[in-house]
A and B are shown apart, each in its own frame.
Chain A
Amino acid sequence: MKVYALFLTFLVCLRPTLASNFFQLPSPWGWACEEDKCVKKSAGGITSLLTLNTCKITCGPAGALWPLPTMATVGNEVTNFLPTNLTHSLTCGAGGDSCQLLQEAVAIFQDNLHRYHPNYKNGSAPWVGPWDPSTLRHKLHLDVTIQGGDGILTLDTDESYELAVSTVESVTTAVIIAPTFFGARHALETLSQLAEYHETTNSLVLVTNATVSDAPAFKYRGLLVDTSRNFISVGVLERTLEGMASTKLNTLHLHLTDTHSWPLYLPGLPNMAYYGAYSPSSIYTPQDMRHLQHYARVRGIRLVPEIDAPAHVGNGWQWGPKEGLGNLAVCVNQEPWQEFCVEPPCGQFNLANPNMYTVLGKVYSEIYDIFNSLDIFHFGGDEVNLNCWKTTNEIVEWMTANNHSLTDEAYYEQWGIFQEKARQLLADAAKSKGMNEPTGMIWTSHLTEMGRELVYLNKSKYIIQIWSTGDDPVITKLLQEGYKVVFSNHDAWYLDCGAGAWVGEGNNWCSPYKGWQAVYTNSPHRLAMELTGNEYKDAILGGEAALWTEQTDDATVDAKLWPRGAALGERLWSNPSTSWYSAELRLIHHRQRLMNRGIMADRIQPEWCHQNEKLCYL
């Protein structure tokens, strides 16, 4: 103690020339957990103060766990250890490649521990001692059992898990028991959040005792990324999957194609991307997609590809006449766009051309070649502009020749018939690979209104994705008719809102920006309750936040998705009855974890608020 005081005096005397050494001194600040909050205190002489990270993972009823588990008891004690000291015993009673996936998930878990180091880079972290012998000795042992499942995520997969952490002398054991691989990997995420970097000893701290029993509130917990308005590289999609994995989201909905561009390279239909990609470097090869599918699965995530039709097609479909197939799409890039579509550029399928179905069938079959297994496929199906079809000679003549009238309803009927044909083409593509027909997903549209849904959309075959506002009577109707739905109401879950306009000036159509609080507060059960007096727990499969990318590309995807995607994650996993206010401290810390994982998430408060809990209130 005396030596230390002498050292301090020495430093203070020398400080004009040793300014940076000054910071080798212990910080003047430390933290204490008081009433479930980390309180910053002057460290003068008090020995029981914690570092900020240690306080964060031990203070409050659930430490800094995100999303909040169904039940959790988190101890107050921590032990220091090095992430290299990790052992595991895996008991795998599951089929498929579950056991191989689990091995991979354990490696990812270990990497995520290394990522807590502030100087982690390219897969490794510079752990430098000297360490206390007890730190060096301490070991984390994983004891994981998965009881069943086949390694494929479906809407019936049991994603629950049990996690028990206990410490005896120099070994902390984490016992994980889960019905499937997916529950087990969620448990590893939770376990990784019971650890943190220890700021003053260059090691990790780990909670010594914890019990967690956890399962998701919703089966479908999604994020949508649109890769057509702007191209999003494979690396950025990987990063998006990392963020989703850390938040226990389980569905990446890829809106792969639209009128703007067609980035998906189909070996059997190379013209699609050749004509439709923004450039030769803005394409996804089949290998890219297969890689992403596996990258996602080992992180507990399914890919849902969307090939939007019969509207939202255009670039990539221009080669029909040249190949003797006629116009596959009409109104492509037609002007003035306001008359033929909702945003430039326009384009819709040519319903009058039977070759369109031949090509579409081929697209679906290529999709199956790439993805091999799909439990959900998204047909798109929104924003058909009747005026496009009504002003296209070829279509009008065909309608007349086939004795259809030219009323709106007649066009809706043809759209409905198109949808049924598309579904059969997809079912055929699945069958030819020996697979079951996937569940179809489709956006709310004119086809889901006025009772048309009952005529054209079989409720056992389709899930309806709601993108209107949360108080839209269409929701009531769909729920009462017995449709399964996924919520993406744009007034809370469209992540592109609030920027400047991209046509004209002012702000974009769905402004203002949806803060994380609005994302968090948006509860599908509550919306259903308000509209119908019933929560419709069985019909509501879950929710999804959508990032339409008119105004986003690789450079800024992360900040648009995160940490708001994490707010979504807790709504869909925990479905809390409490408000955003009680989640704030954990979210602020989880955002720091996302950064550790290499995600350039937006900051939502000054760092001062991270260090001074509950003082940034209104």
Chain B
Amino acid sequence: MGRVPRTWLVCLLITLFIHGNTAFFNMPSPWGYHCLDYKCVKEENTGVVGLTTLNECKLTCGASSSLWPRPQTAQLGKTTVQFLPRAITLDHATPPSVSPLLMEAFHLFLNNLDKYHPQYSDGKVTWSEPWDPSVSSHMVQVKVTIQQPDIWLTLLTDESYQLVVETSARVTTVTIIAPTFFGARHALETLSQLIAYHETRDNLMIVTSATVRDAPAFPYRGLLLDTSRNYFSVAALERTIDAMAANKLNTFHWHITDSHSFPLNLESLPNMAYYGAYSSNSIYHPLDVVHLVKYARVRGIRLLPEFDAPAHVGSGWQWGERQGLGKLAVCVNREPWQQYCVEPPCGQLNLANPNIYKVLSEIYREMIQLFAPVDLFHYGGDEVNLNCWNTTEEMTSWMKAQKFGLDADAYYGQWSVFQEKVRQLVTQAHGGVEVPGILWTSHLTEKGRVDRYLNNTKYIIQIWTTGQDALIAELLQKQYKVIFSNYDAWYLDCGGGAWVGDGNNWCSPYSGWQKVYDNSPHAIAKALTNSTHANLILGGEAALWTEQVDEEAVDARLWPRGAALAERLWTNPSTGWVDAEYRLIHHRQRLVQRGIRAERIQPQWCHQNEGLCYL
């Protein structure tokens, strides 16, 4: 094209503007990008060839492109080829058991590509012509090989994969080889990140060559959501699982019940939700749970149920006396709450009433059936308030009658007896086969008590104290398997206003994504014990307690900080957050495209001007 005098061009455009507002913006953008020292640099597009669009630069510039979480090893080409989503085909060689899962995962992959289109809405998108013939004829052939027939995730599942992208003439071939379905679906996530929307052509582009060898650093990569303090619709849970899938997180820890509400509708015990749900709309029906278990699995995620006991119970347990079972829980909604629990409302199980075990047995039986197959079960088990029990007549008379005494150790003893009984009930509910249990750190896991009460072959301990707590050293030295959720970095609810009283909430300040990213379980273990204890640390989990969030704002609390967590747990980088920043900023945009209302962490200017938002 010849050189057009600029003032003339502007006049023409102003004229056009009268007819169509956006005509001006149909011109090529005055800006383009080029890759310099692994950074995308914004420059004025003065006819110089070689400037790319922002997405293309993001795809080819950094050492790890904009892959998130960063793979263990990746060699990536610096060129792209354009194509249309309809040109993607799948060949697969898999054991028959995993074929349906793979087909479904591939369908999700294609749908995720559609979501890159800025006008994607409700599952639909229109890719508009005209396209260059080289674009409309380009083929992308995906070949997937899965070696093992496993269809359920366990702590021993091999989630590794290899991904090779090669391009010759009009065909890009993608070869994925994975030991299990879970590795293969992770490979599809990675592949979706080697593809991007081309802003000016209305088609997709893929890097022409890539070799990725990848496997997670930790087998347990979790996110906790509490659905008792506030209720979350099934759709909000699905959205959370979608975002976890995009980050290769693999465990959705569902803190279903607490003293506040009991949203789980159990067929065998309908009174639980009838009395305990916030309303008849705030309920998870059995089919919802079964649906979510499947929904999560095809996204590479286990649904880990928690049934918190013997504290953190209350709402939903009020019907015992009416049904002739006596008081199942004590201190329910008791006042002043400060004397009986850590936050309103109070409630603890009534250990003096043997009927609680009948009810618990039903609960466990139905939960294990709904969440089947369970490979882990979370017993909760934190924050028992001894004063509740010790000021409840029925409890103290029982303790005295049984000659247990009324001192703290006597109560801890009964708490541990309770724990052993419920462990047996869970085993029974699981057809006699033991299920590894998870318990929060608590008074029961303290120095001198933990090995008296909890067998390290039967329990995994989830640590929620700070990352400097000496208890961590104690647990590791006593060979407990652990999961890190130290609240000083991995509690995502911190930093809001207070919800009782004024000021800020208990674990303020807010933990920014940088802190979430830099929280390394191995580094913490090393600092406390001089060993990384890599074999005992199963992984980590960020927790969203929901006193101050419901589905309106849940996405923003979880994302993109959940992505920072994911790279820590998948990649376990030796580098800090600074090296991850550009990729995370771009990954946040991907989450938004997938329908997740993730928080923005910088001005868009920083996304367009890499490396200039520093301190």
> Hey, which bits of chain A sit against chain B, CB under 8 A?
15-17, 19-20, 22-25, 27-29, 42, 118, 199, 229-231, 260-261, 265, 267-268, 270-271, 274-275, 277-283, 285, 287, 315, 318, 322-323, 333, 335, 337, 344-345, 498-507, 511-518, 521, 549-553, 555-556, 558-559, 580, 595, 600-609, 611-612, 615-618
Contacts and interface: CB of A to CB of B under 8 A. Distances in A.
Contacts of B333: 612, 615
A206 B337 CA distance: 35
A278 B512 contact: no
A23 B501 contact: no
B603 A606 contact: no
A231 B556 contact: no
Contacts of A521: 502
A28 B274 contact: yes
Contacts of A504: 614-615
B200 to A, nearest CB: 10
A17 B14 CA distance: 69
Interface of B: 6-7, 10, 13-14, 17-18, 21-22, 24-27, 29-30, 44, 118, 199, 229-231, 260-261, 265-268, 270, 273-275, 278-283, 285-286, 315, 318, 333, 335, 337, 344-345, 495-504, 508-515, 546-550, 552-553, 555-556, 577, 592, 597-606, 608-609, 612-615
B345 A502 contact: no
B30 A275 contact: yes
22 contacts: A19-B267, A22-B265, A23-B273, A270-B14, A283-B25, A318-B44, A323-B6, A344-B609, A344-B613, A499-B512, A500-B513, A500-B514, A513-B497, A515-B502, A515-B503, A550-B602, A600-B552, A600-B597, A607-B278, A608-B261, A612-B333, A617-B500
A323 B7 contact: yes
Contacts of B503: 515, 517
A34 B268 CA distance: 36
A551 B46 CA distance: 32
Contacts of A260: 603-605
A517 B615 contact: no
B605 A315 contact: yes
A274 B274 CA distance: 59
A555 B17 contact: no
Contact of B230 (A16, A517, A603): A603
Contacts of B614: 344, 503-504
A504 B514 CA distance: 9
A501 B512 contact: yes
A498 B505 CA distance: 12
Nearest to B612: A344
Nearest to A282: B604
Contact of A500 (B13, B229, B601, B603): B601
Contacts of A274: 24-25, 27, 30
A414 to B, nearest CB: 28
Contact of A555 (B337, B513, B597, B615): B597
Q: Which 10 A-B pairs have the closest CB atoms?
A: A515-B497, A500-B512, A504-B615, A618-B501, A280-B25, A517-B502, A559-B553, A23-B280, A555-B597, A600-B552
Contacts of B605: 229, 260-261, 278, 315, 344-345
B79 to A, nearest CB: 24
B612 A335 contact: yes
A606 B553 contact: no
B553 A550 contact: no
A54 to B, nearest CB: 14
Contacts of B615: 501, 503-504
B230 A22 contact: no
Contacts of A515: 496-498, 502-504
B612 A345 contact: yes
Given A337-B612, A556-B599, A608 B229 contact: yes
Contact of B552 (A15, A345, A601, A608): A601
Contact of A502 (B18, B286, B500, B601): B601
Nearest to A21: B270
A391 B24 CA distance: 36
Contacts of A551: 599-602
B497 A516 contact: yes
Contact of B510 (A265, A498, A555, A604): A498
A512 B495 contact: yes
B534 to A, nearest CB: 26
B558 to A, nearest CB: 12
Nearest to A337: B612
B592 A604 contact: no
A19 B265 CA distance: 8
A515 B503 CA distance: 7
Nearest to A23: B280
Contacts of A606: 229-230, 260, 499, 546-547
Given A280-B29, A516-B497, 6 more contacts: A19-B265, A511-B509, A555-B597, A606-B229, A607-B260, A616-B344
Give the one of B13, B21, B337, B605 with max A CB within 10 A: B605
A603 B560 CA distance: 20
A267 B279 CA distance: 53
Contacts of A517: 497-498, 502-503
A23 B30 CA distance: 60
Contacts of B598: 555-556
